[in-house]
Structure 1
Amino acid sequence: MIESLFGYNIQNSMNNDETKSKSTFPSKHVLEPKRLQNITILSKALNATSEQICQALIQGKGLCLQQLEALVKMVPTKEEEGKLFNYKGDINELGSTEKFVRAMLSVPFAFQRVEGMLYKETFEDEVVHLKNSFSMLEEACKELRSSRLFLKLLEAVLKTGNRMNVGTIRGGARAFKLDALLKLSDIKGTDGRTTLLHFVVQEIVRAEGIRVSDSIMGKICQKSSKVNKTEEEKEEGYRRMGLELVSGLSTELYNVKKTATIDLDVLASSVSNLRDGMSKLQYLVEKDLCNGEESENFVNSIKCFLSYADRNLRELQGDEDRVIVRVKEITEYFHGDVSKEDNPLRIFVIVRDFLGMLDNVCKELRRFKASHTPNPIATFR
């Protein structure tokens, strides 16, 4: 079908490719065929000659991120370096790829320079990402601690639990683990549909609605509407205003939900990797390349960057230490003993999952008017 549509002969194409392959690569190779093929592909992606690459490595500048990433993947093993340096035959017999790598190795510590330049190129983005993550964590702690509505919900859950457990050993509790929030949907009423979470939300919705309607803004709104309202209309008004507030809790705790996707160990590892990378770069310019005139430009370029990187890493370390303290404090405040937690950010995961359940209940309650909603209390009597 391809031949008839496009005049393309697969067999001939394959033969041509084989011919090209034979003419491109000489019969003598130092590197393994698969390794040679990979490096060849990477060297073509560089879009630069070996002279241009070597000059950029000597100067310590002039290579973009994509070129540096490709060069890092080309780093030869000690064995491959030895084979290239100890090759006794005619250099012209080597393929262009092997000549390319051999030329690079003529620059002192060539691939260490590549790694250092790549570190420098990606440093700013990595620091910004980490700072934003730590800032988000700090904001999440503030949101949880200062959210009046979230605390009201917890109070409602505690009171409801104590009312249901009155006369039992669990009655009169002064606190509960936040894990309990995720079990509220498991407790169903006698109708088989209404859950304990429905009940708690409806109660808090009504309470918040009354609070808002009694506020100054609420009274202004009431004056602009009809004065003589029936009890049913008042209840519907409370419900509507309260539901608006409760359904907005997810937005209020935006950073809490985002933080639930963060892995604190990964962030700590990233900060540690940045420190290690800077140490390697310092060793390269202060020890490996301290002698040699041809390394002077590279060393000067990197030394300017290192003072900048050091300041940023000190700030980043301060951010990390402060956030770890904040997370520990907020976990102890809501969840008790921190030492038993495998995941330091588990509290945020729990709250995120609870907010998802809360949103679903609010959506369900929006579908019904107060007059058509069954009395939630009756199902739990």
Structure 2
Amino acid sequence: SSKPKERDNEYLKQGLPAVEGLSNEFTNVKKAARIEHDTFINTCSSLGSRVVEIRQLVTRCASSERGGFLKEMKAFLEDCEEELKLEHPLQLFVIVKEFLSMVDRVCADISRNLQKKNGTTSASSPPPLSPPIRSLVKFINLPKQFMSDIRAATYSSESNDSF
């Protein structure tokens, strides 16, 4: 029973830096997700109101105008309304931002729990300093049950030196 626990802890120790690295890899996504979502939604609402006003004006002018301007305005208004129908077009960025925040919190919790476990088993060793900023992670060959197929296992062992 001790061997599987040790193996699980080893996998955690080796995989945690890679998962923590996701946060760094998605820095630009986080920046994009910080767009003021409420302001954007309010702007869309305001544009929708203006489109309604323009449609009313075009409807009033329809009786006197028969030219290409009316036709073009109607097409323009239809395009505007279609574009504004999208509900919360930036919601995906908010979801991604929240997901990455959760990943960061889970990584911190796992690190803290590992430090506590290591602290109880080896009270004499000092606690580790802050984690390194971003180091390259070298993966070991994992057992076959962790691989999606045989080719992935072969590729992993062949390309291990390139990392």
Q: Which TM-score applies when normalising by structure 2?
A: 0.49
Larger Rg: 1
Q: Which TM-score applies when normalising by structure 1?
A: 0.25
Q: Which has the higher contact order (CA 8 A, sep 6+)?
A: 2
